[in-house]
Structure 1
Amino acid sequence: MGPATNDARLFQSGSGQWEVFKNLHVRGADGGRALRCWSTDAVVPYGCRYMIWMDYYGGMILMDMSSQLQSSSSSKNPPKLRYVPLPVDRVGDPEDIEFGARGCPKASRRVCVTRHGVKFVSVDSQHWSNFGVGHRHVLTWSHRFRITTRSLREHDDYTWRKDLTMHEEEFWDALDRADHRFRFPHAQPEFPVVDMENPDVVVFRLEKDDFYRGGEPKWMIEVDLRKKVLWAATAYSKKESDGLSGDADAINSARVSRYDPIPSELPRYLDGGQACKRRQ
């Protein structure tokens, strides 16, 4: 599926054939103008009927495939597409060279599919807009960052409802009340992910800028935004890669890279489980 052409290709597992739908109308896209600078950052399935494409600098496209499920002749029932803008102010053009291309939008925002519906979490910074919050607004903040979660209201014309907000001071208070053995770097939390089971809990990554110069370890933490408490914390360091080989080294390298981390322990079990056993 490509927003520029609005074409969709669906694979029918029953027949083993591809169905092609061309020139599909995207409802809510302002005649296609909302998709002018579209770039897909992620694609996720939702429920039994939706596929969602995300552009974290603009919005998301929901493909409703219920017509495919209700009819044996899918060619007569093309899927329905709807554009849903993300609940942030769009600032500038994400392709403008002045802003250094697109950067890494996942570092500050994420659309997550949970048992409680579609959630959107964002970490808005006072120091840069990240094409999310207007400069004039963030300059009035008394804090450097703010964490916000929202829920997609499917039965209210696909609007967003604000759920929870945590400011910088509340975030550090929650971490300071945790186990004194934890020494967290005082850095802005990155790569937020809403917990699939508990939508009040968000997973973050914490790291200092000097990590690659042998500084403090990188942390994966879980914070309850409603109760304002730290749930869990796990430290990772470059030293953990010493002696590892194959997939185990690749997994740990992904965790400590500056890009999208691997938050789960499951891949380490797939590599034989030795690393997990040492950590228990």
Structure 2
Amino acid sequence: MKRPGTAICPSERNSQPYPFAGRRNQQRFFIRHPAFFPSPLNHPLETNPRSVLTFRLLPVPYDMAARRRLHPPPGAELSRSHPRWVMLDRFVHYKAYAGEAVAEEVMDGTQSAISSTCTNISIAVSLRVAEPPAVSRLYLHWPERFMTASLSQVSQPFIIAAHGRSILFQAQAPFVGDSCPAFYYYPMDYFLYTASDSEKSPCLMRLPPCFDGGDKNPDVDLYFHPYRLQQLRSMWRDDIGLLCRGKGEFVVAQLTFGGQLCVLHHKPGEEQGDMNWSVENMPLPDGDDIPNLLCGSWQTDAVVPYGDCYLCWADCYLGLLFVGVIDKRTKPPCYVPLPDGLDSNRLCVDPGYPDPARRVCVSESSMINLICVGDYAGCSVCASSYSAFTITVWTLTNLREKKWMKCFTMEDSKFWAALDFDKRLPHVLPEFPTISLVKPDVVYFRLNGGNKLFWLIEIDMKKEVLGSTSLYIFEEEEEEKCSIDMAHWRSFPGYSFVPSPFTRYLDQHAIRSLEHSEKLQNIRLEQAKEKRFVEE
């Protein structure tokens, strides 16, 4: 089998493969492959006539470090092949460390370099990796002295978005050595966790605060000194998106329902202290079929990257809004309505509560997909009131012409037949769909089996068959001394998971947590069997 990072000359397919690093021969060969180059306006219907890739293998200096990565020394612990992508749980797990500094005691190479909160608490993060449909979880390494009283008063760290080699999350920071009258005075930090290009540890960057639009009240500012939470801009996590491009360049942007756009654009080579937020009133699109963003009818369900310059804010019941976040915004954003026949009445009206019936996702090839679980009239259905349902996957084929194509449809009878291949699975309505990042015909769902038992399943929409299955691991189960009394666990509202190719950018021996993830799965399954929540 060909090893990662090796190439086989077409004329030598039966010979030993040569690694790129350290190859001294002068042999050259070409690989020509027609490919699509996505255009933000025509993607993917138009093919670039110049989209033929040509690769030439040239002699390079002998790289001993690269050769060691390809051929580890005898006795070195080998990881399995990398998952091409992961499904990130939005809930981040606190992991305690003793003393005043983060110890390098994480089981693998996903541990980031040390960073700090705005309150000068030293932190690091790492990633427990699992093969989809099992969820992977971010660990926030936190001082042990803050693991009791302080953390009980702060909100749970939460993943906001992921793109490319980066993951964006938020975490509330307790004060150090100060008495605080209430937890809501604690400031909110935003961090970007980024895989490195080399064998270096992943980077953990704290983003600068934004004070533009913040509330200023001299009567209560005393409680916020010296961190000035009172003057921080209020940024709801569901309105924030992440766009990464090139080496080191990224954009974090927030779009309010009133049309105000707040952007942090970090350019390659820019020092962290030079980053600043910019806030502007964005021109809104006009038209009779466009919802009025100023009246508050718009509710963002997802923010996904599109191409190299756009972020897409999606309301799964009103449409998509494509906003250019790189260059100066002189034109209104592009509005795309939903496919014809879909009802616009929202299933869950509570702001901030994730919608279980519809989801907008983007593939690694920048294809925008809409997944709907509804009745035959195009209305969303919920678990408490449904008789029959259909799963439909749509793809946005042309942004300029605002065209959707129906790719897959699966009736409820086909879905039940697929579930019958695993007798442990409950026959309940599938919820919170997520499309695979690398296989556009594969969709993942959550099944609520009751008793805090949630199944995550893989469905091949093209073949209409069941794939892999797993159990959702609660955040409390990450600790070995987890309480078996599930009544004290946090509730799982069913937030849709965040697809990310983060693992693709790690060194091949960096990930060592796959076995630990399997162990958590086995423990969870055995507990469910003991309580007879799952059939043998």
TM-score normalised per structure 2:
0.39
Paired positions, count: 243
In the alignment, what sits opposite 1:112? 361
In the alignment, what sits opposite 1:135? none
> Is the 1:27–1:82 Cα contact (8 Å) retained in structure 2?
no
Q: Taking structure 1 as reference, are residues 58 and 261 closer, same or farther at Cα in structure 2, changes over 3 Å only?
A: closer
Q: Taking structure 1 as reference, are residues 23 and 207 closer, same or farther at Cα in structure 2, changes over 3 Å only?
A: closer
Superposition deviation, residue 6 in structure 1: 2.0
> Is the 1:90–1:131 Cα contact (8 Å) retained in structure 2?
no
CA shift digits 1:124-157 (9 cap, x unpaired): 147994499xxxxxx9xxx611100000122551
Paired letter, 2:283: L
Greater fraction of residues in helix: 1
Aligned-partner Cα distance in 1 for 2:401–2:278: 28
Aligned-partner Cα distance in 1 for 2:478–2:260: 47
The root-mean-square deviation of aligned C-alpha atoms, in Å, is 4.1
- Please list, as runs of the form range in 1=range in 2, the aligned pairs for 1:1-280 lying within 5 A after superposition: 1-2=254-255, 4-14=257-267, 16-27=275-286, 30=289, 32-33=291-292, 36=295, 37-65=297-325, 68=327, 74=328, 77-78=329-330, 80-87=332-339, 88-91=342-345, 94=346, 101=350, 104-116=353-365, 117-125=367-375, 129-130=379-380, 144-155=388-399, 157-176=401-420, 178-179=421-422, 182-208=423-449, 210-212=450-452, 217-236=453-472, 241=477, 244=480, 257-260=492-495, 262=497, 275-276=516-517, 278=519, 279=521
> Is the 1:105–1:130 Cα contact (8 Å) retained in structure 2?
no
Q: Taking structure 1 as reference, are residues 113 and 232 closer, same or farther at Cα in structure 2, changes over 3 Å only?
A: same
Give the gaps of 5 or more residues in structure 2: 1-253, 268-273, 483-488, 504-509, 523-536
Paired letter, 2:315: D
> Is the 1:63–1:79 Cα contact (8 Å) retained in structure 2?
no
In the alignment, what sits opposite 2:153? none
CA shift digits 1:75-110 (9 cap, x unpaired): xx536412222232213xx59xxx764684531111
Aligned-partner Cα distance in 2 for 1:264–1:7: 27
Max Rg structure? 2
Q: Percent identity among equivalent residues?
A: 29
CA shift digits 1:132-187 (9 cap, x unpaired): 9xxxxxx9xxx6111000001225512211110000000111222x25xx411010
> Is the 2:291–2:318 Cα contact (8 Å) retained in structure 1?
no
Structure with the larger RCO, 1 or 2 (CA within 8 Å, 6+ apart) = 2
Paired letter, 2:438: E
CA shift digits 1:8-54 (9 cap, x unpaired): 23223236344443241325574653764012222222221110112
Aligned-partner Cα distance in 2 for 1:90–1:166: 21
Aligned with 1:241: secondary structure? Answer: helix
Aligned-partner Cα distance in 2 for 1:183–1:193: 22
Aligned-partner Cα distance in 2 for 1:4–1:152: 23
> Is the 1:62–1:83 Cα contact (8 Å) retained in structure 2?
yes
TM-score normalised per structure 1:
0.70
